[in-house]
A and B are shown apart, each in its own frame.
Chain A
Amino acid sequence: MTGDEWHDSFTRILLEQGVDPHEAQRLSEDSRAEAIAARRHPAQLFGPAAAYAVAVARAARPAPLLAPLARAKGPVVLRLTNVTKRFRRREVLRGVDLTLHAGEVAAVTGANGAGKSTLLDICAGTLKATSGVVERAARIGYAPQQHGVAPYLTADEHFRLFGAVHRMGARKAVATGAHLAAGLGWRPRAGVVASQLSGGTQQKLNVVLGELSRPDLILLDEPYQGFDQDSYLDLWAQVYAWRDAGAGVLVVTHLLHDLDKVDHLLELQGAEDR
């Protein structure tokens, strides 16, 4: 690979990683000048173009705030009181209580089959609790675990469709979607339908659709399947960014990572046959 090829591939991957084109151009010129000054081949100085581009793209993201914002707890966006769910004789949820304010993150954990997705569906409103009281904010974002995207639509078409439901203009919806995608290290390409995206990227689309309308409450169901480690960290950074921006976030997870920072931890005990 010649130096020029290295720089071309570096620039291309920066763009794929969601770096703003002007910024990518600048970073590319910088690395070129840096290699010239060091009188070395860029691969020798920086390593493989792909790996370096990923590292630079991560570093170039808008800086997370060094000190967390002084968060004022907002109004209650989700309140579960003694929520129970039974499917025929099988009790999946028993006596679940939770009060989530705007500006807080709640993580729901538990083994497979412990009712995590059921709880999320009840919060979203696709399922009805057998007993107990559910109250939640009207404006929600919802990213289900599976089938959250349409295989035959491109990312921009998804943004326009969801934008229409949220009564946003088409242009604004696409711009917002692209901006949010960049935060997860992804730049949607025109003409590529969802079924052609990798599993991890489909999940990024799923998550972006969940937050497109800047909702008061965001419900996420294990959106990490197919995510690599970096995407996983980006997602959590995003979760805390939503929180700091004043949204309440409910995340279903089986990964016991990073849970020391969440405001509420709801551990579900699992199903019982009765």
Chain B
Amino acid sequence: MLDATRQQWLHGFLDFCLLCLLGERRDYGLGLAQRLAESGFGEIPGGTLYPSLLRLEKQGLVQADWVSSTVGPRRKYYRLTAEGRAAAEERVAVWREFRQAMDRVADRADLAEVETA
């Protein structure tokens, strides 16, 4: 039940997460999956991650390029476009506001529990 909720939320936020991570630096698919896992989101299946990246690419927020490497296999690297950067900034601002509102509401649930106890 809790897992399902988490998954649903993550689904809604994945595009946003990817914009933020790519805002930090360009990366390839597995690298992004690793960084998401390190951030505490758990393992993101490729079946969810890659369609999300493709969608961002189609929306013109992200640019993807295949990069050959002398040591490893060639990889597809993603980076933010100017539009993607603007979208990321805009969403971060909205998110901060939204989080404050959410925190205020969630904190009340705490208080109510203390009163009834």
Contacts and interface: CB of A to CB of B under 8 A. Distances in A.
Interface size class of A (residues with CB under 8 A): 20 to 34
A38 B48 CA distance: 16
B30 A59 contact: no
Contacts of A48: 47
A45 B46 contact: yes
Interface stretch (B18-26, B71-79, B105-113): B71-79
A54 B60 CA distance: 21
> Binding site of B, secondary structure by majority: helix, strand, loop or mixed?
helix
A55 B48 CA distance: 8
A61 B51 CA distance: 11
A33 B30 CA distance: 13
B47 A51 contact: yes
A62 B58 contact: yes
Contact of B30 (A27, A38, A52): A38
A192 interface: no
A33 B28 CA distance: 12
B59 interface: yes
A52 B74 contact: no
A59 B52 contact: yes
A66 B59 contact: yes
Interface residues of B, number: 22
B74 A56 contact: no
Nearest to B59: A63
B60 to A, nearest CB: 7
Interface in B29-66: 29-30, 45-48, 50-52, 54-55, 58-60, 66
Of A27, A56, A62, most buried by chain B (CB within 10 Å of CB) is A56
A27 B64 CA distance: 12
B47 A55 contact: yes
A45 B33 CA distance: 11
A34 B54 CA distance: 13
A30 B46 contact: no
Contacts of A58: 51
B76 A34 contact: yes
Nearest to A52: B47
Contacts of B28: 37
Of B50, B60, B87, most buried by chain A (CB within 10 Å of CB) is B50
Contact of B45 (A36, A47, A62): A47
A33 B54 contact: no
Contact of A46 (B46, B58, B66, B75): B46
Contacts of A56: 50-51, 54
Contacts of A52: 47, 50-51
A31 B51 contact: no
29 contacts: A30-B76, A31-B50, A33-B73, A33-B76, A34-B29, A34-B46, A37-B75, A38-B46, A39-B73, A46-B45, A46-B47, A46-B50, A47-B45, A47-B46, A52-B47, A52-B50, A52-B51, A55-B47, A55-B48, A55-B51, A56-B51, A56-B54, A59-B51, A59-B54, A59-B58, A60-B58, A61-B58, A63-B59, A63-B60
Interface of B: 28-30, 45-48, 50-52, 54-55, 58-60, 66, 72-76, 87
